[in-house]
Structure formats: structure tokens, C-alpha cells
Amino acid sequence: MHNTLDKKIINFLDYLKYQKRYSQHTIVSYETDLVSFLSFLEKQFEETELKNIKPAFVRSWLAQLKSEDNSSKTINRKISSLKTFFKYHLRQGAIEVSPMTTVVSPKQNKRLPQYVEKKDTDTLFSHVEFTDDWTGKTESLILKLLYNTGMRQAELIGLKEQQIDFAKSSLKVLGKGSKERIIPISSELLVSLKQYINDKKKELQNPDQTHLLVRENGEKLYPKWVYNSVKKYLSLVTTIDKKSPHILRHTFATHLSNNGADLNAVKELLGHSSLAATQIYTHNTIEKLKDIYKKAHPKA
């Protein structure tokens, strides 16, 4: 370590890891942004003291990012990283004022989340055939779980057998920040879960007994495996650009919203901390209503 700013970044990342319990992926994103900013400060202003960082320094960095054709979304994420970093050190007493108070985030076009149409999910679960081997059984259950619960990919991979409550037809999901939420599940999905657990005991030698979903070698899943499986099957039923596990989360929320589900209920099912994050799904509903209106109303 050759300057105080390095140590302050490490302290901040430790705070995110041990107190806020952020995921490793999120922590790496913060670290990347802060190290990039630190490198810029040293190169352009030869500055390494936290208290000497001025709003003009931050704006210069943002201008450079813009000149490198970074998107507004990327720049806003980096601004958010800096705001959280300086807010932390403000509370620690390391600085008296944050240089971020006068920094304005660039406007970005709101993109509605993509989702799979209802007719396409019907095709996926009613007509697409999965192989009868262990991989096919696992892929089938992955898609059912993602679409029926709206859980995140990391939550799916970490799902344990003991988190299934067969008596109450529900799943206990461990979300961001180790927050627990209960998701009700259908009797049909419950049957699929029971069958999978029974088959795992019969067909695999010494499989992982803790995690629900495992590969043919008995070991738990990993992100790329899940992503490739979901992409493979979504490619058979839809032409939307993105075909990731997260798209099925969007699909879950949008289909609920389209069918009149209460927004607060959708928020709880998704594990969102604020209603604002859930409201994007009402926009999808409004777009659908507009489309129906245009097609059906005589004066449209």
C-alpha cells in the first residue's frame, strides 16, 4: 500500500462484505469502480488524500468515461459506487463533506425489462421435450423453478432441500443481504420437487445432499451451467434478445402484474427492498393495455 486511499477502499469493501453482506459480485463491481477512480486521481491530479478530493476531480473522471463511450447506465453505476464510498467515510468522520453532493447523474433512457410471452411459456412447459437423463431432469426443474417463483439465479443455485416446506407448499429463499422470504408454490411444482429429490437418491452416487439442484456428477450447479441451460430452451420458444435466467424473473413478475396481482405482493415475492424497483413491471402491463386498446377500440 503506498497511499491512504488504498486503505480506505479496503476498509469500505470490508464494510460491504461483513456488515452489509453484499455478494462477491457486487463487491468486485465496487472495487473495480473505485480502483479505476483512484488510478485516474493519481495520474491526473497526483492526489491520494480522501479529504482533498474535489467535485471537479470527479466530474473530470466522468467526462473521461463519457469520452470513452461508456453508456449512461455504466456511468450512473460508477457514480453510485462513489456516492456510497464517500457516504461511508462521511459517517466514519474521515471527511466533512462529500465531493458527490454537486455531481449530477446523466439521464438514461428507461428500458422496459424483456420477458417471455405467455403463449411462449405455455409452449415451453407443455410441448418442449427434455431429455430423460439427469441433465434433462435438472434443466426442466430449473426452468419450472425460475418461472414459478421469480427467484434469482444465485438463489436458485443456493437453494437447499431443507428450504422446501412440503406441508405448507412454499419455499424459503435466501436473497440479497441474507434476507429471507417465503414464496408459495403450486401443487404441480411440489410434485416435481418431490420426484427430483427421490430420483436424486436413486440415480446418483453420493450426490450433494444439501443443495437441491445438482449436475450428473452429484455436485451443485454453477452460474454458467444454469445460464446455458436456460438459453438453450428459451431459444426454442422465443426470439427476444436476452434469454437468461433473469429474463424468467422478469417474466414471472410481468405475468403476475398482467393478471392483476397487487404490486406490493409482487414486491414481496421478488424480494425487492423498495416498491420503486417493482414498478417497472406495471409499465409492461400498461404497454400491453395500450396494445389491446389499439387493436380492439373502434376509436383507437
In the residue annotation, 152 being an active-site residue is answered as yes
DSSP character at residue 164: E
Q: Are 159 and 111 in contact (CB under 8 A)?
A: no
Distance CA 20, CA 168 (A): 31
Note down pLDDT in tens along the chain; length 300 residues: 345 568 889 999 999 999 989 999 999 999 999 999 999 998 998 877 888 999 999 999 999 998 998 888 899 999 999 999 999 999 999 999 999 998 888 776 666 789 999 999 999 999 999 999 999 999 999 999 999 999 999 999 999 999 999 999 999 998 887 789 999 999 999 999 999 999 999 999 999 989 999 999 999 999 999 999 999 999 999 999 999 999 999 999 999 998 888 889 999 999 998 888 888 888 777 777 788 778 876 776
Distance CA 42, CA 57 (A): 11
In the residue annotation, 246 being an active-site residue is answered as yes
Give the homologous superfamily in CATH for domain 118-296: Intergrase catalytic core (1.10.443.10)
**List 137, 249, 250, 267, catalytic entry:** 249
**List 220, 231, 246, 288, catalytic entry:** 246
pLDDT at residue 300, rounded to an integer: 61
Class of the 4-91 domain? Answer: mainly alpha
In the residue annotation, 294 being an active-site residue is answered as no
Q: In what order do the strands lie in the sheet with 180-184?
A: 164-165, 170-174, 180-184
**List 137, 144, 152, 267, catalytic entry:** 152
In the residue annotation, 88 being an active-site residue is answered as no
* CATH topology match: 4-91 vs 118-296: no
In the residue annotation, 91 being an active-site residue is answered as no
Beta bridge partners of 22: none
**List 176, 181, 211, 231, catalytic entry:** 176
Cα Rg, the chain, nearest whole Å? 23
Domain spans, the chain = 4-91, 118-296
| pTM for this predicted structure | 0.65
